[in-house]
Amino acid sequence: MKTLGIHHISATVGHAQENMDFYASVLGLRFIKKTVNFDDRKMYHLYFGNHEAEVGTILTFFPYIDAKSGLIGEGQTTTIILSIPKGSMSYWEKRFDQFGVFHFKTTRFNDKFLTIRDPHGIQLEFVESDIELENRYEFNGVTKEYAIKGIYGVVMQSLDYTNTFSFLENDLGFTNEGKDGYYQRFTTQSTFGHTVDVKFMKTNKGSLGVGTIHHIAFNVKEEELITFKEKLSKYHPTEIKNRKYFKSIYFREPGGAIIELATNSPGFTADEPLEDLGTNFRLPSHYESYRNEIENDLMPVFVQKLDALKNYPYTDKKTYDSYINHQNLLKRVNEFAKISKERELTSEEVQERNEVRKAYVKSVTSGLRNMIEKIDFVDENDNREKAFKIKGDN
């Protein structure tokens, strides 16, 4: 019994709109699902993938505003590797230059990797691959000759290399392809997510938090999930969880990284048709009764054209609303300034302008007060891992 390659990769990031801007607007992936963390409704769970939202192309993110940074290191999946079309690497180098994203190239196993970090510190590598499938989703200048096809694989670091190698080979059914420098390669026969490079260089122990990969999910057939759960009982997997788009179990592999096994069905069209993916806010049934509260709490997020990208001074729905109010007042103040250059304002307009100015000043000062109240002491000694523990993980 073998897994069928990587199903999806999930990472912890910062500001939700910055995450949207990078993966949807800059990388040109399709935003396929807006939902919340099924174990914590106070947090978004944002999904990106190819046009068909196929298993093996899916990257998912948990955006936190106030969480601590994690540390990339041993006991984690450390890098997401994405497949790009043959001959498209120079396009991506230029695109990263255009957006001020630092990049460099490395080689292993005769593959050339273009390496970057996303705005919150997640490591990404791009590799030209032979996959014939083309991602026909085109957005913001990323046309299908350049579009990311899906997941090529991951890099992992382990706290126990011997047993991680054995886990990949004997438990998941990957083939050991040998070694190149600090890397041991494991592969499987699947269109996407077929490669796991284990980097066996002694660095530091990783800790979960913003800028780190939380887990990788391997793809299994629906009818085999139960058998896998029994076969992997030595790793103490969680009970089978219904994630609506797949069913899954979670556990830590012997080297410390969090692993999920997820079923290849029913898929992301379970609750909205292919053409509508990502356009509605989809909640799991156990949170449907909290919809108003959730929508009043989380900042709205948008798939944006390139000319709309900017910095976002808001962190939730309340600060988003006051930001929008502030922008509207500013627009109105400027309109009055323009009109008064052309002609005398009427007495009604003067009265309105004075009110708008007063409201604008109030908005500026309350904005400052909010910012001052946000400054917080950081306790270096508290347990970073605690906040990111999987609910029900045992």
Residues 6 or more apart from 218 whose CB is under 8 A from it?
3, 4, 5, 6, 7, 172, 193, 259, 260, 261, 262
CB-nearer residue toward Zn ion: 76 or 363: 76
Minimum distance from CB of 258 to Zn ion (Å)?
A: 9
| Contact (CB, 8 A) for 134 and 147 | yes
Minimum distance from CB of 6 to Zn ion (Å)?
A: 11
Give dist(CA 118, CA 125) in Å, integer: 11
Minimum distance from CB of 246 to Zn ion (Å)?
A: 8
CB-nearer residue toward Zn ion: 10 or 88: 10
Minimum distance from CB of 218 to Zn ion (Å)?
A: 10
Minimum distance from CB of 33 to Zn ion (Å)?
A: 12
Beta-carbon-side half-sphere exposure of residue 238 (alpha carbons within 13 Å): 20
Minimum distance from CB of 377 to Zn ion (Å)?
A: 33
Minimum distance from CB of 153 to Zn ion (Å)?
A: 16
CB-nearer residue toward Zn ion: 61 or 314: 61
CB-nearer residue toward Zn ion: 49 or 85: 49
**What does residue 96 show for φ and ψ, rounded to 5 degrees?**
-70, -35
Paired strand residues for 131: none
CB-nearer residue toward Zn ion: 75 or 85: 75
CB-nearer residue toward Zn ion: 165 or 246: 246
CB-nearer residue toward Zn ion: 246 or 320: 246
Minimum distance from CB of 36 to Zn ion (Å)?
A: 14
CB-nearer residue toward Zn ion: 6 or 142: 6
Residues found near Zn ion in the complex (CB under 5 A): 10, 217, 260
